[in-house]
Amino acid sequence: MRLYETIFIASPTLTEEQVDELVKQYEGIIAEQGGELLKTDKWGRKKLAYEVQKFSEGYYTLFEMNAGPKLIAELERRFRNNDAVIKFMSVRLDVEAKSAARRKARFDREGKRKAAAGIKERPPEEVAG
């Protein structure tokens, strides 16, 4: 199982209720395919940074879930086949978290080294000058 984050944009031609229905439908698919949904975040209607399929607005929805690659493939296939979804993206969070942990370890190590060497940490305000 991997930790994924999937974000999709629903068409602005839908009403709020239709979007809710759509989200429920996808939640159902995730559950059905053996995924574990951790979070559903509805951002609501937002302006897009550029036109997508001639639309300049859309409903953003974010899923966070534990899932296998097969589920993501299936989910994306359904996004592609659904005209109500104008854009989507999946990101693997477990990989991100791993590299973040590595970076944190490096900061900690550096901090310890500096403390041992008696170098004081400069407060952010001072660095910003």
State how far the alpha carbon of 68 is from the alpha carbons of 3, 60, 73, 99, in Å.
8, 23, 9, 20
Confirm or reject binding of residue 103 to another protein (CB under 8 A).
yes
Residues 9-48 within binding reach of another protein (CB under 8 A)? 9, 48
Residues 63-102, interacting with another protein (CB under 8 A): 87-89, 91, 96, 100-101
d(CA 64, CA 67): 9
Residue closer to another protein (CB basis): 28 or 53: 53
Q: Which residue is it, tokens 């053996």?
A: 34
Closest CA to 44 of 27, 31, 62: 62
Residue 116 sits in the site that holds another protein (CB under 8 A)? no
Q: Which spans of this chain sit near another protein (rule: CB under 8 A)?
A: 7, 9, 48-50, 52, 58, 62, 87-89, 91, 96, 100-101, 103-104, 107, 124, 127-129
